[in-house]
Amino acid sequence: MSRIAGSGQTSSGDQFRLLPSGRPFGSLYSGNVRAVVARGLKATWGSNWAIMASGFVEPVLFLIAMGIGLGSLIGTVEGPGGQEIGYIAYIAPALLAVSAMNGAVYDSTWNVFFKLNFAKLYQGMLYTSLGPLDVALGEITLALLRGALYATGFTAIMGVMGLITTPWALLMIPASVVIAFGFASFGMGITSFMKTFQQMDWINFIMLPMFLFSATFYPLSVYPQAIQWVIQALPLWHGVELLRQLSVGTFTAATGIHVLYYLVMIVLGLILTTARLRKLFLK
Amino acid sequence: MPNIAVPKQLTRTVISARGLTKKYGDFAAVNGISFDVPAGESFGLLGPNGAGKSTTMRMIGGVSQRTSGELAIMGLDPEQHGPEVRAHLGVVPQQDNLDEDLRVRDNLIVYGRYFGLPYSYLRPKADELLEFAQLSDKAKAKVDSLSGGMKRRLTIARSLINEPKILLLDEPTTGLDPQARHILWDRLFRLKEQGVTLVLTTHYMDEAEQLCDRLIVVDKGQIMAEGSPAALIREYSTREVLELRFGSERNATVAAQLEGIGERLETLPDRVLIYTHDGETSLEQVSARGLHPVTSLVRRSSLEDVFLRLTGRSLVD
Which residue in chain B is spatially nearest to A11 when comparing CA positions? Answer: B121
CB spacing of A35 vs B129 below 8 angstroms: no
Q: What's the whole-number mean pLDDT along residues A29-34?
A: 86
Cβ(B92)–Cβ(B202) under 8 Å?
Answer: no
Indicate the pairing of strand A76-78 with strand A84-86.
Answer: antiparallel
CB-CB under 8 Å, B100 with A119:
yes
Q: Is B20 on the interface with A (CB under 8 A)?
A: no
Q: Domains of chain B by range and CATH?
A: 7-228 (3.40.50.300), 238-300 (3.30.70.920)
d(CA B92, CA B111): 13
pLDDT in the model for residue A4: 53
Interchain contact, B101 vs A46, CB within 8 Å = yes
Mean pLDDT value across chain A = 84
8 Å CB contact between B105 and B130 = yes
Interface test with B, best of A19, A27, A51 (most B CBs within 10 A): A27
Q: Under an 8 A CB cutoff, do A119 and B191 touch?
A: no
Residue of B13, B76, B84 to mutate, testing the A interface (most A Cβ within 10 Å of its Cβ): B84
CB contact under 8 A, B80 and A123: no
Q: Pick from A219, A263, A216: which is nearest to A97 by CA?
A: A216
Residues of A in Cβ contact (< 8 Å) with B83: 27, 30, 129-131
Binding-face residues of B in 92-121 toward A, CB within 8 A? 93, 95, 97-103, 106, 110-111, 113-118, 121
- A6–B163 C-beta distance less than 8 A: yes
Number of Cβ pairs closer than 8 Å across A and B? 147
- Which residues in A have their CB inside 8 Å of a CB on B? 2-8, 10-12, 15-16, 18-21, 26-27, 30, 32, 35-36, 38-39, 42-43, 46-48, 119-121, 123-131, 281-283
- For residue A224, give the amino acid letter: P
Residue A107 main-chain phi, psi, to 5 deg: -65, -40
DSSP string for A88-100: HHHHHHHHHHHHH
Give the number of C-alpha atoms closer than 13 A to the C-alpha of residue B289, restricted to the C-beta side. Answer: 15
ipTM for the whole predicted complex goes beyond 0.90:
no
Q: What is the pLDDT along chain B (317 residues), one digit of tens a residue?
A: 444 444 444 457 999 999 999 999 899 999 999 999 999 999 999 888 888 998 999 999 888 889 999 999 999 998 888 888 899 999 999 888 899 989 999 999 999 999 999 999 999 999 999 999 999 999 999 999 999 999 999 999 999 999 999 999 998 888 888 888 898 899 899 999 988 999 999 888 888 888 999 999 999 999 999 999 999 999 999 999 999 998 878 888 888 888 889 898 888 888 899 999 999 999 999 999 988 899 999 999 988 888 888 887 766 55
Query: Within a 10 A sphere around the Cβ of B194, how many other Cβ atoms?
Result: 14
CB–CB contact B83 A123 (8 Å): no
Chain A, nearest residue to B125 by Cα: A4
- How many CB atoms within 10 Å of residue A82? 7
Residues 6+ apart with CB under 8 A from A12: B87, B88, B117, B162, B163
Using DSSP, state whether A85 is helix, strand or coil.
strand
Q: How far is B21 from chain A (nearest CA, A)?
A: 13
pLDDT digits (tens, 9 = 90+) for A235-262: 999 999 999 999 999 999 999 999 999 9
CA distance B74 to chain A (A): 8
Whether residue A1 has pLDDT greater than 60: no
The closest alpha carbon to A89, from A151, A159, A148, belongs to A159
pTM, to two decimals:
0.81
Distance from CA of A122 to the nearest CA of B (A): 9
Which residue in the set A38, A124, A131 is minimally distant from B97, CB to CB? A124
